[in-house]
Structure 1
């Protein structure tokens, strides 16, 4: 049994308690509408504002069937790359506002244009709707931006980034790199962090099963790499990848497994597990020292990959 009272420091516990005051651990037992209202309120409470010098514009990508809302963040610096950011939220929560300040800060600190994608959510839109929107957003960015495209996303968004990278390898236009933040890649749930941290604060194994069931409508999609990137049999020719996970998170082993498979296939991948941090710690980047340091690691990784540099 993990002793979280000693593994997690006081700053992080304060963040967990504040989060739970807005988003109780039993929120998945509520209706989807109630979950979204609770999540949106929590995001508003944690909103840190925009840094100076960031211009923000909300737009949309037109597809043959629907529009995909996007939000663009630009700084005064010349954009050497574009970051396509795909938000987390278990495939049922979040949107342009939930990660608004994260994207603005990423833009301010690296100077790249950041494009946030508001993909369709389950259960109204079952898999592969979110993946299709992520693919459409990448194809739009690749066709309209004459610069490298770096993928980045947290949790469910990390899953979608990886799925896009797998789907586009071998194409003339593909991601220049990807930075995956505590991603859920559908790894082996009988071992590793799935067992060790099955009852972790902020995200449990039960939560993960719930989100997967909602995303698929309960349909067995075993082997579908657009849903589960770790199910792919071939990890060759993927973009340089940096994975940053939280130690106290059942998803942590996905980062390790994904790194190992890319490296075994001859690619470049680096995995860093943040000691004592929990799922969702991006919202703690201004109040928790460990989360602040991790956000700097994320920023530096995105900046390096956008320049074609490999620092690991």
Structure 2
């Protein structure tokens, strides 16, 4: 045929009604085995493939899963995209990517709009309040990455960046630093709140004076303001919310003639592509994002297919460890 074959073409070739052909292809148990075989043979001969929308209408399943991220341009999420995509393909699902541009409102609109068009979603670094997230998760199967709450009846995968932050503080303390700044992330970041909760007890234990700067957007262009604030605060080291912010800090310090690390040490978080290519190479906390993506997708598939454990309230999150990668952007505190 010179055009894409339709269900009507299949029905005509098999000598049955269109409704019978539809049932034979989507609900074969309702049609005799002989008729089902004849319709399927006609479909194979014509090269007919049911559309995704038709399959969804007949089965209630789309075999499509959304990956919802705050910023598709942030390389932190590249590993997550790769990990979820690989596991979903193995499970027979198609992945669609949704960018919410660091907006809680856009995230909520996306989750509402996805109902009925996807089977479920992997939701990364949600910016929603606990109450709103729990409300939306009640209408769409999700697995959350870097977010959980007591009211969220859904599985979650957490990256243990708070312990990575503590490792960074221990590293700086071992180099003789006593005055350290933390360039914080967005106010809506649940991960940032976890890090700040770990920051102060660790600083007290290590004898560090920690100044919290910000909040800052987790982008390179926010780095110059954070760098200026760190210089103004008189600290000898700054730990950034993420690597993109740290890249901007390094650029601004270089422009101001501040030697890194002789005058000011810089630490990032995530170990994204390029962290070892900037100069000086960035000391940073490495996060296993591809592994997190595979695990999140696996949990979602198990939930969709009813093969996983209970996902009711109180479900314990899966926690993945992080580690500090020491490079040239940190050094002994200036005398």
TM surpasses 0.5: no
Q: Which has the higher helix share?
A: 2
TM-score (norm 1): 0.37
TM-score of the pair, normalised by structure 2: 0.35
